[in-house]
C-alpha cells in the first residue's frame, strides 16, 4: 500500500502530543512539545545529543510519565527497538522472535509459524536455529526488528537502531526497513543523530532544540522513493537541515 493510499484511510493521528513537557527534578528535558504522527507516516526525530529525543520515545512507549501537557496514542500498541539488539544469548534466533508471542499466549505451533514468517520478512530465513553470537551486527538488528514486528503494534518506535553499524550495513538496512515499512503499512517514529539518514528515510524530519527539547522545525521530505543516502536531493536537504542544527548548537553553546 502506498503512502497516498494510507493517507486516504487515516482517521486522525496515531500519536498526538500537545504542549508535552518532561522534567527530572530541576532538569527540564522537554518543553511544550507538540507533534502529530499520522497513520502510515515515517517521522524522524533529529537533534543534538541530550535534546530529549529518546525521552520523547520513552513517553510515547509508556515507559515514563509526562510532567505536563497531553499525550494521546488512543490506546494503541507500540513496540520499541533500541540501538543495541538486546537479544537473549541463550535463545535461538527463532526463540528471540517468539518471545513476545509467547508472552501474548500464542500457542507453540502458531508461534513457530509466525516467527518463521517474520524471519522471512527480514530476510533471515534459514537462520532460525542460530544463536545471536553467530550473527553479524546487521543480522542481529534484523532479528530485533522481527521481534518488534512480532508484537503486532500499531506504532513502531526506533531509537537509533542502526547507529552502531558500519556505513554499508546501515545503508542496506535502510533499504530493508523502507521495504518492510511499505509492505507492512507501518507507522514509524525514528530517532537518529544522522541528518542524511533522517532525510533518506523520513516523510518528515522533526528538529528539536538543544535542552530543553522543543520543536523548532518540521521539514517535509518529498523526494521520490526509493532514495539513496548520497543522492543530490538527499544531500542538499540534509545540508539545509545540518546548517539549522549547527546554528541551534552554536546558540546553545553561547
Tens-binned pLDDT, residue by residue, of the chain (254 aa): 334 333 444 468 999 999 999 999 999 999 999 999 999 999 999 988 888 999 999 999 999 999 999 999 988 999 999 888 889 999 999 999 999 999 889 999 999 999 999 999 999 999 999 999 999 999 999 999 999 999 989 999 999 999 888 889 999 999 999 999 999 899 999 999 999 999 999 999 999 998 899 999 999 999 999 899 999 999 999 999 999 999 888 876 65
- Whether omega for the bond prior to residue 212 falls within 30 degrees of 0, making it cis, is yes
Give the C-alpha separation, 68 to 31, whole Å. 9
Please give the tally of structural domains in the chain: 2
**pLDDT given for residue 123 in this prediction:** 92
**pLDDT given for residue 186 in this prediction:** 93
**How many Å from the N-terminal Cα to the C-terminal Cα in the chain?**
47
Q: Read off the pTM.
A: 0.90
Residue 65 in domain: yes
CB 89 within 8 A of CB 120: no
234 shares a domain with 158: yes
Residue 215 in domain: yes
- Which residue, of 102, 133, 152, is where some domain finishes? 152
**pLDDT given for residue 191 in this prediction:** 96
Q: Which structural domain range is residue 185 located in? A: 3-76+154-253
C-alpha cell at 180: 518492510
**pLDDT given for residue 250 in this prediction:** 80
Enumerate the H helices of 122-231 as residue ranges.
137-150, 167-184, 195-201
237 shares a domain with 161: yes
164 shares a domain with 72: yes
Packing angle, helices 137-150 and 108-121, rounded to 10: 130
**pLDDT given for residue 12 in this prediction:** 81
159 shares a domain with 114: no
Residue 81 in domain: no
Count Cβ atoms within 10 A of the Cβ of residue 250 and give its class: 0-12 exposed, 13-18 middle, 19 or more buried: exposed
Residue 20 in domain: yes
Give the CATH number of the domain where residue 208 resides.
3.40.50.300
- Which residue, of 113, 135, 152, is where some domain finishes? 152
Residue 222 in domain: yes
C-alpha cell at 97: 522472535
- Which residue, of 104, 122, 152, is where some domain finishes? 152
Cα angle 182, 93, 105 (rounded to 5 degrees) comes to 80
Contacts of 89 by beta carbon, 8 Å cutoff, 6+ apart: 131, 132, 133
Amino acid at each position: 500500500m502506498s503512502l497516498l493510499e494510507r493517507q486516504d484511510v487515516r482517521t486522525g493521528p496515531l500519536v498526538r502530543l500537545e504542549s508535552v513537557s518532561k522534567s527530572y527534578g530541576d532538569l527540564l528535558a522537554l518543553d511544550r512539545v507538540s507533534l502529530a504522527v499520522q497513520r502510515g507516516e515515517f517521522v524522524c526525530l533529529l537533534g543534538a545529543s541530550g535534546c530529549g529525543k529518546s525521552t520523547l520515545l520513552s513517553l510515547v512507549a509508556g515507559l515514563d510519565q509526562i510532567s505536563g501537557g497531553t499525550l494521546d496514542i488512543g490506546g494503541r500498541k507500540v513496540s520499541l527497538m533500541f540501538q543495541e539488539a538486546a537479544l537473549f544469548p541463550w535463545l535461538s534466533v527463532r526463540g528471540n522472535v517468539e518471545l513476545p508471542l509467547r508472552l501474548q499466549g500464542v500457542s507453540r505451533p502458531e508461534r513457530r509459524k509466525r516467527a518463521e514468517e517474520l524471519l522471512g520478512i527480514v530476510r533471515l530465513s534459514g537462520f532460525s536455529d542460530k544463536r545471536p553470537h553467530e550473527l553479524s551486527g546487521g543480522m542481529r538488528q534484523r532479528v530485533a526488528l522481527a521481534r518488534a514486528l512480532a508484537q503486532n503494534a500499531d506504532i513502531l518506535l526506533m531509537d537509533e537502531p542502526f547507529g552502531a553499524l558500519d556505513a554499508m550495513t546501515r545503508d542496506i538496512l535502510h533499504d530493508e526497513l523502507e521495504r518492510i515499512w511499505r509492505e507492512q503499512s507501518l507507522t514509524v517514529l525514528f530517532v537518529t543523530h544522522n541528518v542524511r539518514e533522517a532525510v533518506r528515510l523520513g516523510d518528515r524530519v522533526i528538529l528539536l532544540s538543544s535542552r530543553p527539547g522543543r520543536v523548532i522545525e518540521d521539514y517535509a521530505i518529498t523526494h521520490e522513493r526509493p532514495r539513496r543516502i548520497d543522492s543530490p536531493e538527499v544531500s542538499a536537504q540534509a545540508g539545509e537541515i545540518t546548517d539549522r542544527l549547527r546554528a541551534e548548537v552554536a546558540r546553545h553553546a553561547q
